[in-house]
Amino acid sequence: MRDLVLVVNAGSSSIKLALYRVERRGLSLEARGLAEGLGGKGQGRIRITDGHDATLLDEALPSAEHAPAMDRLLQWLDSQDDGSGLVAVGHRVVHGGPERREPVVLSPAVLNELALLEPLAPLHQMHNLAPPARLTEARPELLQIACFDTAFHRTQPAVAQQFALPRRYTSQGVLRYGFHGLSYQSIAAWLRRHRPDLHAGHVVVAHLGNGASLCGMRAGRSLATSMGFTALDGLPMGTRCGSLDPGVVLYLMDHEGMGPREIEDLLYRRSGLLGVSGISQDMRELLQSGEKPAAEAVELYCYRAAREIASVATGIGGLDAVVFTAGIGENAAAVREQICRHLAWLGVRLDRTANAENAQTVSSADSRVPVLVVATDEEAEIARQTLALA
Ligand code: ADP
């Protein structure tokens, strides 16, 4: 019986798999797979757990290459199921370009079209497309579907998507696309189910993970975001700079003699928390470090996030709730505390104890704006979208 949906989320250093069983009440998680430590010099590692987090497989990979890691994950999957039970495979694809508002069935032609968007998401796009390309060759009969991080933001008004450049660049597709859309859809679905009062209002969601961005939504629709043409804009991130005066890029070219690839490396891989602290890109490490540059990196991160939250709130015409999500948003109480301190003038107040415990509502009873912590589940969102299209 065909009742399984496989989700593949392949990034630069990891491949995540999630296997769901379609049940009458919805999707239930059967297994999760993670191949990590990829793309570097060392050895990758693969771990598979069941729906209750019990380990089913934990082994070192012979190398840090992506393709053998994906093969090993699929081999494990085959040992559980010969593939005949799969309804479809859903892939996370960061960039869908200006037109794609919905998931799409992956044919070789669509794969080629999406590969052309690589310059707009150099850290992600090719990694996202490698597993479906491999699967298309190995299992041409499988239904494969791409779910996009940009699609959710295509509901934004033109003014929110436009740069103040001559119009011809806008018509060429030089737009604010926005990213992390699958995460925001997952949060919107949560709000609709658990807090319909807030879902109907003006909500700013802060997705603070290795990548970080904000989305302003109203009635579950994206109206504004902090990320732009690429996933470099907006908030400072683990290794990305976030908003930067484009004059800095001109300065680096003219006065430091840097070329495009070198600047790309600087802005995508050597900036953000890592660049400012000189210690780590990992928020947990920075919060535990007693070093001054670590504290300064966290301070800048929180200051920028708060400024951008106010900007996005203006873009959506109000602020009825702030939702924190992803690794830092869900776990780093000190970061939420610093960001919300900057937002005190908007009437944002945290409850210290609730915040320290990562409770669902971390604002105090007298806060004008409720502040929530909600776990994002991009894989479940991909599974839901994949099943809907399949
Ligand atoms: P990705 O974007 O790769 O999915 P995550 O959403 O897992 O990333 O977020 C990774 C970030 O979350 C890292 O900076 C990590 O240090 C941070 N993080 C995870 N757990 C904690 C914690 N308990 N306290 C502070 N930061 C945390």
Averages of pLDDT over each 10 residues, the chain, 390 residues: 89 90 90 88 89 91 86 83 80 94 95 93 90 89 96 96 96 94 97 97 97 97 96 96 98 97 95 98 96 98 98 97 98 98 97 98 98 97 96
Ligand 1 mutation pick, 284, 325, 338, max ligand atoms within 8 A of CB: 284
pLDDT of residue 41: 79
Distance 286 CA to ligand 1 centre (A): 11
Residue whose Cα lies nearest atom 26 of ligand 1: it is 284
pLDDT of residue 81: 67
Q: What is the 3-state secondary structure (H, E, C) of the chain?
A: CCCEEEEEEECCCEEEEEEEEEECCEEEEEEEEEEECCCCCCCCEEEEEECCCCEEEEEECCCCCHHHHHHHHHHHHHHHCCCCCEEEEEEEECCCCCCCCCCEECCHHHHHHHHCCHHHCCCCHHHHHHHHHHHHHHCCCCCEEEEECCHHHHHCCHHHHCCCCCHHHHHCCCCCCCCCHHHHHHHHHHHHHHCHHHHCCEEEEEEECCCEEEEEEECCEEEEECCCCCCCCCCCCCCCCCCCCHHHHHHHHHHCCCCHHHHHHHHHHCCHHHHHHCCCCCHHHHHHCCCHHHHHHHHHHHHHHHHHHHHHHHHHCCCCEEEEEHHHHHHCHHHHHHHHHHCHHHCCCECHHHHHCCCCECECCCCCCCEEECCCCHHHHHHHHHHHHC
Distance 124 CA to ligand 1 centre (A): 18
Distance 284 CA to ligand 1 centre (A): 7
Please name each of the domains of the chain with its CATH number: 3-148 (3.30.420.40), 198-373 (3.30.420.40)
287 CA: nearest ligand 1 atom: 25
Distance 277 CA to ligand 1 centre (A): 16
Residue whose Cα lies nearest atom 19 of ligand 1: it is 327
Ligand 1 mutation pick, 9, 331, 379, max ligand atoms within 8 A of CB: 331
Active-site amino acid positions: 149
pLDDT of residue 63: 85
